[in-house]
Chain A
């Protein structure tokens, strides 16, 4: 196989993210001037990457205008919550919950997808948006089941057979677990992209009418993409709930999150896996990791050393 002429950026990023936590000095150095540990921050970005890859299947490959991916993210998180918190009798642990969350969220995707996927683009956008709002308000109002605005906790950390203790969410082990899931989702999408299913999806995106004329069952293929995106988003939601040990406030699964995912996808380029992840790296990285650091830096370093003396000098 011929070597590509350009540097293999995805692989370089992967190696950087895989090596970085193994060198504790790097993280400690980062900690000294930001008071934040990257090992604890970055798994959130990986989970967000999985979510973006999920949306990529629906929006990027098939061209379904989907504005409600956060609802499926939330459904996954809440299924995990119900199945693992001690307040309920299930307590089936992380791995079973992950499977149930994925399948359950996919089922939700099917229930909403079957009647609505025949709608035209913008109508579908509103239906997905409306569905997301219905889910958010339902979670908020069904206080007896979901805990309302307080959310559910504690969600236990994942256990791995052979390891003496569970992977606590601030450990390097959890970092690698989320990274492994991200890589798995990436490879899964890469396989699908080159399969019969993926090529059919792209054909529908390019021209729905032509695709149906070539004998593709457009309705079922669209539904497959919608359900696949929902399931993957549900898995991401399960990881998210586990990573913060709680299902958080229902507002965490609102329209803003759906839009942020969509923005990551569009920034990186629709239909491109690497692009989607790069978009997450830029937007989520800036929004969740860099901007708090800038805030801290501004308040602790810049404000007392530059602004305050300047104001004092000018008698303000």
Chain B
């Protein structure tokens, strides 16, 4: 037993934890869109994952416009010429996703606001299929490579610190003796996600609109009677959720470097699982759930097997829901008579 303990590769474990936290932060960004929309209109927005996928494709197209997608062009490009398009992506794609999400709400979900619950749910699945087919036309059936811009802008230095190794992203922990890799990509994901979540939390807690959102989530009819424009609040919710997915898609494309039309369904399912795991409707729950799912995914694929990752994620979900039926941070609401 002691030998096994000693033989356990703690460095590898730490590395998988770092990877899991990065993926978890991305999943949490998508999960926020699910959980906020659910909190306000009680709708599982199945199209959200595919919105995220379309954001990735738009990022790819945008990067191609700047010629960053051509083979060999990245190696000689100075970092400041790469930074411009990346920042543009961070501006344009959240706007695009937010706008598209709002449009979907206005065109598809709004007419069904008072319909039985299953009708908007199935419409959401329909929108998801439509988006998936748009992605299929846009990017083709095969997964497409997204140029590794981060590695091109911040490449790894070699041991003497002089030459640079193209195509490998810089490891910020290279000088420490931990043996771990915490790359610029991980730093970017954490550095964008944490401020975004803080901003969202402050927005929901302290602004007037945020207060209106919380009131609407609690009771839409009462909120309307208090003079809150519920439709507007719902619109803002869809905008924010879409923007979060947009940020997520830019970072996903930049860190994982593959884009495909089916990624929306898979990641959307993970994100939705994260939202439910944390207690759907709860913003902090979505973040916690995202991190849990990210860790399960990364540690599971290391210690259980790559092919079992998805099964493991859902098994964890089922087990947690059996013991905590409202999710990790969800509050139990008593049935109204």
Contact = CB atoms under 8 A, between A and B. Distances in A.
Contacts of B125: 259, 263
B311 A133 contact: yes
Interface stretch (B20-28, B98-106, B115-123, B244-252): B115-123
A266 B122 contact: yes
A282 B298 CA distance: 43
A138 interface: yes
Nearest to B335: A209
Contact of B325 (A123, A131, A141, A209): A123
15 contacts: A115-B318, A122-B38, A123-B280, A123-B321, A123-B326, A129-B269, A130-B315, A130-B317, A133-B314, A134-B310, A134-B315, A138-B311, A209-B337, A263-B122, A266-B118
A132 to B, nearest CB: 9
Contacts of B121: 65, 125
Which of A112, A118, A122, A129 has most chain B Cβ within 10 Å?
A: A122
Given A123-B325, A126-B317, A263-B122, A137 B310 contact: yes
A116 B326 CA distance: 12
B274 to A, nearest CB: 11
Interface string B116-148: 011101100100000000000000000000000
B311 A262 contact: no
A121 B44 CA distance: 11
A141 B122 contact: no
Interface of B: 38, 42, 44, 117-119, 121-122, 125, 265, 269, 272-273, 276, 280, 305, 307-308, 310-311, 313-315, 317-318, 321-322, 325-327, 335, 337
A126 B119 contact: no
Contacts of A306: none
A263 B125 CA distance: 10
A137 B308 contact: yes
Interface in A115-169: 115-116, 118-123, 125-127, 129-131, 133-134, 137-138, 140-141
Contacts of B335: 209
A100 interface: no
- Place the interface of chain A in its size category: 20 to 34
B112 to A, nearest CB: 12
Contacts of B276: 122-123, 126
A119 B330 CA distance: 13
Contact of B273 (A116, A126, A131, A140): A126
A238 interface: no
B263 to A, nearest CB: 15
Contacts of A130: 273, 313-315, 317-318
B197 to A, nearest CB: 23
Contacts of A137: 307-308, 310-311
Main secondary structure of the interface of A (DSSP, over half): helix
Nearest to B333: A120
A255 B268 CA distance: 13
A266 B123 CA distance: 11
Contacts of B122: 259, 262-263, 266
Nearest to B305: A141
B318 A131 contact: yes
A133 B269 CA distance: 10
Most A Cβ at <10 Å: residue of B311, B326, B327, B337: B311
A138 B305 CA distance: 12
B337 to A, nearest CB: 6
Contacts of B317: 126-127, 130
A126 to B, nearest CB: 5
A119 B44 CA distance: 16
Contacts of A116: 318, 321-322
A122 B44 contact: yes
Nearest to B336: A209
A115 B322 contact: yes
Interface string A21-39: 0000000000000000000
Contact of A120 (B44, B310, B325): B325
Contacts of A262: 122
A266 B311 CA distance: 29
Contacts of A118: 325
A97 interface: no
A270 interface: yes
Contacts of A125: 44, 121
